[in-house]
Structure 1
Amino acid sequence: MLYAMYEMGRAAMTPWRAAVNAGRNAALSPMNPFFETPAARTWAAAAEVFERASRAYNRPDWMIEAAEIGGSRVPVSPETIFETPWMELTWFRREAGAMKAATGGKAQPKLLLVAPMSGHYATLLRGTVEAFLPDFEVFITEWKNARAVPLSDGRFDLNDYVDHVIDALHVLGPQTHVAAVCQPGPLVLAATAVMADNDDPCTPASMTHMGSPIDARRSPTVPNVLAMQRPLSWFHDNLVHTVPAPYPGALRRVYPGFLQLMSFMNMNWDRHVDAHWSFFEHLVDGDGDSAEKHREFYDEYLAVMDLSEEFYIQTVDEVFQQFTLARGKMMHRGQRVRPQAITKTALMTVEGENDDISGIGQTQAAHDLCENIPEEMRLDHVQDGVGHYGVFNGRRFREEIAPCMKGFMRSHWDEKADLKARPDFAALIR
């Protein structure tokens, strides 16, 4: 019922948004004799703030058209090379001729970025992708909005997520590096452990966990405490709702993206209010550059997706209440997940000093669980001065974290083994 009411409310705002837009256009029209006055600019600014606050944001585009490699501009195009009803595996294809000229034909390692399925689209990692494009063959998991997946395509739970990570690694072949950003950390670790236990030749060469709740008992943050304070039934009864028509996933039970967004924003409500007030002032003052930066950030931040009921409830239960991976009790398809089985995959952890989502120590816990990885194949990096978002985006990430990750991955990459079994990705494009 809540989901349907939300959609009805959004639909009811449509004529108001149209009217406000018309008024904004009139205020800024050169035919309006007052269009350059402070009153007209103030009205237009207020109208844009209202329109943007009341609109529905769709999945953003990648907006990555080129990368600077070896002093040359190399065209880039996102291509799907593997797809299921729940995920697209995207390859950031760099134009072959330009790459050869820029690198002299020298091979580069493969990197699989596992994006979080936590309410935002994979495009939230645009900056992460851009940082690695000059030096790596980059791939990313793009999870699909649960409300767009018909009931006939079945359920999606933690086991399915782990299977998808394993499938993606099989598509990319041996000697792939994998990086889990936030939420997927425990599941990428589980996938790697299962592959190692089964002597899978595509077990990743290295895995990097970035701001991940590997053991959410350590330095619990506000979201961790809230998850532990309420019984699992509360989450099911209050946060899971039914997708209404006419969405393709109508009647599917989901954790709606708009509820997740409200949770995110309530954690830093004052900051968001200040940001929108500053946006209003920038518009009135004619500061186009600052206003555009605001638009770019919130176009991404406010675009959210739904999560399937089973995935969401199991995540709360296993990751934030039962801590099954950290306690050695996690199972995958009847097989116990044993991080101690990992011996040949290098391990790096990245944490932010001011992370208010995954506290210090939660990601580092991976080192304790993977007890049989040799010491020379480990690296722990705590980045000073950054919060959760800064772990995978922003200046500190580009200048300090990404170079550290690149060096670690390259030091644990067998180039000959990689090239010997590397697939022809161009042939896989769909």
Structure 2
Amino acid sequence: MITTEINNNINILFSFLKEVILWRLENLEISFDEEAPKIDLTALPATTITSFLINRKVSQWELVTFLIALSPNIKPSFLLDCIAEAFPNGTDLPQFGGVKGKQHRGIIPTGETIQFILGGNNTQDRIQCMSLFSATSTLEKRKVLFLEKALPGEPVMSGKVLLYPESFSLATTGVVPPPKMSAQFPAEKLETGLAWEDLVLNDSTSNEVKELKIWLKHSVTFLEDWGMKNRVKSGFRVLFHGPPGTGKTLTASLLGKYINRDVFRIDLSTVVSKYIGETEKNLSNLFDKAAHKDWILFFDEADAIFGKRTNVKDAHDKYANQEVSYLLQRVESHSGLVILATNFKENIDEAFMRRFQSICEFHLPASKERLILWQSNLPKQLKLDHTINLGEIAEKYEVSGSNIMNIIQHCSLKVLNLNSTVLTLEILLEGIKKEYIKEGRLF
């Protein structure tokens, strides 16, 4: 919701933008830096929109560009009204740029609009405007806005200037709605109602996870306040490896919960495509969406796409290796936490292994951990028959945490179906046997 204070700030900013546009319409030859109206954002009340702009350290050029791109979303007739005020008898004014939308009835600004307002007739300033949309500009690096690709045969700067949807939400409401799973974002948000006390790990794995918590807690101070962002890569890459059901996914979920960051599990079946170039395109969409969001990206069964490169025998091998190389580059340049999870560490390409800051091995729980899992997860309403010794069960049957949860569910439903609250040894062993059979193990 846009509050009254934010609304007042927006009105002030658009009054400033109107002043800039009217100034330019009367002064085509004067440099923007010399005489154009300016505004001090820090003098305005602190709201989401001013904080958004101040945090990105935008210049006056970038501020005006942002407000121009914002205008159709907030005040649809704003650009038309400015021109009408300057030319009450009407004008064509092709140098102003802008296009009509299919549904939007006002002016959608283009790169030419930015060139006109910031550069006027000054060729050097108009050329400088192009740098606002380069890969190195603040507006692009922080995914604030972009210049849409021009139509074939049209001038480069005739493309629309559009805000990234996340930036619009963040600037106006202070929050970014979580994306929905789609072909453009092949990931689902991971959430858990459990706490760290519910995660049972051995000491070595627990220590590795503690290091991750330390990085999540202090990375901003280390990179920004201590000035290390130009010396070390800003992201953090970690490998979780070990048998299924040992807590890899739960750990990823709890890390996000610990630091109040969203965790997204990547659906590799949606990412990987048999068509050449499509896998890279899907990955590019994913990482572009996740840029500057502080999201944790969790690639489960990562060896499906992060697997070892092979000797090139045919075109398929060549493009498969290209996919791995592209992925390596995107993972390494991502500024957030990336977790790769696999059941088989040896399947991960060595080029990735060298770039992990941390490798966490998840073991099947030993008897001590299994006993804790049994004791902490059995429903309080379920009473154990006197013939059941949980210590002996934990010692004898080597099962994972997820196995134990499946067994508890099976047993609980069996007991409920008998209109009872007592778990017998027979039902418990039946549940354990069922898990053994599922995994092709002898009971």
Q: Same fold (TM over 0.5)?
A: no
Q: TM-score band, normalised by the shorter chain?
A: under 0.3
Q: Which has the higher contact order (CA 8 A, sep 6+)?
A: 1
Larger Rg: 2
Higher strand share: 1
With normalisation by structure 1, the TM-score equals: 0.22
Higher helix share: 2
